[in-house]
Amino acid sequence: MATPTTARPQKVTMACLTAGVASVLVLISVMTTLSGWGSLEVREQVERTLDASPVTSTLSVDAALRWLRVLLMAAAALATASLVLAVWTAKRHKGARIGLTVVSVLSTVSFAATGAAGIIPAMLGVVVVVFLWSAESRAWFAGRELQPAQRPPQQSVPAARPVHTTATPPVRPPQPGSESQPPPAPRPYAAAPGSYQHPFPGPVPHQQAPYARPGQPPRPRPLITAVVTATVLSGIVAAVFGLNALIYLVSPSQYVEMLSNPPMFSDADVRQLIGDDPEGYARGIFLLSLALGLLAVAGAASALSLLVRKPAARIVFTVVAGIGMAVSVVLAPLGLIWLLAQAACVMLVWRREVTAWLRVGR
């Protein structure tokens, strides 16, 4: 039976899954590139990249190919190590977690150095490191139970105080032949001292009222994890595609020129991709970027709306995530990471503790 000290936290699972999937994608990309290494197409792509960059313009094509081959082999070795470390980290190996952290930091720095194309992989590396060293992850690797959050104590209704009455001696009737009379009662037709209660008592304090609602329970951890993950990923997508749409709106001609001269693509590839209508292709990319940017904004908004404890917000989030997963399948293999992340977020928001938390607000 799983206990808090043996059950793997959700953040550790997501970190290992993200690192493993990213490693597999890097290996596939490196193997695909190395399989056609001696082709003329690879050489032309390197030449175009050297010509486009003023920093590497003095480097020869042969030297660039040698350095590129070394970098690809290093990336393959790093991806293989990350895949193995992710598996052992999921098995609660402390050394593997440290190794996976180091590899994730190196990968983040390497991807960030490549420019705009490496922003998303670099952000995923940061997410892996943050999840591996979160509070619940540290507690799980240390073999101790995470202390639950302090909840407001439930106020108990105090018991009614007993009514103290003062017993009065019975009044004896006068004896025949006795001239003495009993003394009159000090408070005729009144209750005994200490037993008087107002028929309309004042308002009971809210925290002591029997109908007072208990303290609001804290938000479940799976819900927080899903909201943070969905918001961060949606923000990255909205920033990337929103920037594309903004460039087109500011200068359509410059955007067409940028699409007509992409790095690492030969003229034949560009003609096959764009065709005879560069303006129409740029317009289509703009519309696609605008649609994906709006979808990302909707995903972030629906994720944040889950925090207001409305059951309908979870349905909206699931629908938006389903549309995003369909788009990720179309954009595979790059969209595979987003597909797994969105599926994980949907599973988290439909967990039993999240459902119980949402029902409290009804």
Alpha helices in 133-220 (DSSP H): 135-142
Answer with the one of 104, 120, 145 that is the final residue of a domain: 145
Q: How confident is the model at residue 263 (pLDDT cuts 50, 70, 90)?
A: low
Residues in the chain: 362
Percent of the chain with pLDDT over 90: 10
Are 85 and 103 contacting, i.e. CB atoms less than 8 angstroms apart? Answer: yes
In this structure, is residue 276 part of a structural domain? yes
Answer yes or no: is 10 within a domain: yes
Parent domain of 59: 1-145
207 residue type, one letter:
Q
pLDDT at 2 over 50: no
Domain shared by 140 and 222, yes or no: no
Most confident among 17-21, 216-220, 271-275 (mean pLDDT): 17-21
User: Is the same domain home to 114 and 251?
Assistant: no
> Does any domain span residue 202?
no
Structural domain contains residue 174: no
User: How confident is the model over 196-201, as a mean pLDDT?
Assistant: 49
Q: Could you tell me if 18 and 128 lie in one domain?
A: yes
Flag whether 37 is in a domain.
yes
Model pLDDT, residue 218: 84
> Which of 125, 145, 165 finishes a domain?
145
> Does a structural domain hold residue 182?
no
For residue 347, is it within any domain?
A: yes
Domain boundary among 114, 145, 176: 145
Structural domain tally of the chain?
Answer: 2
Report pLDDT digits (tens) over 297-336.
999 999 999 988 888 889 899 999 889 888 887 776 667 7
Copy the structure tokens of residue 261. 């001269």
Is residue 192 situated within a structural domain?
no
Measured between alpha carbons, how far is residue 321 from residues 231, 297, 326, 327 in Å? 12, 12, 9, 10
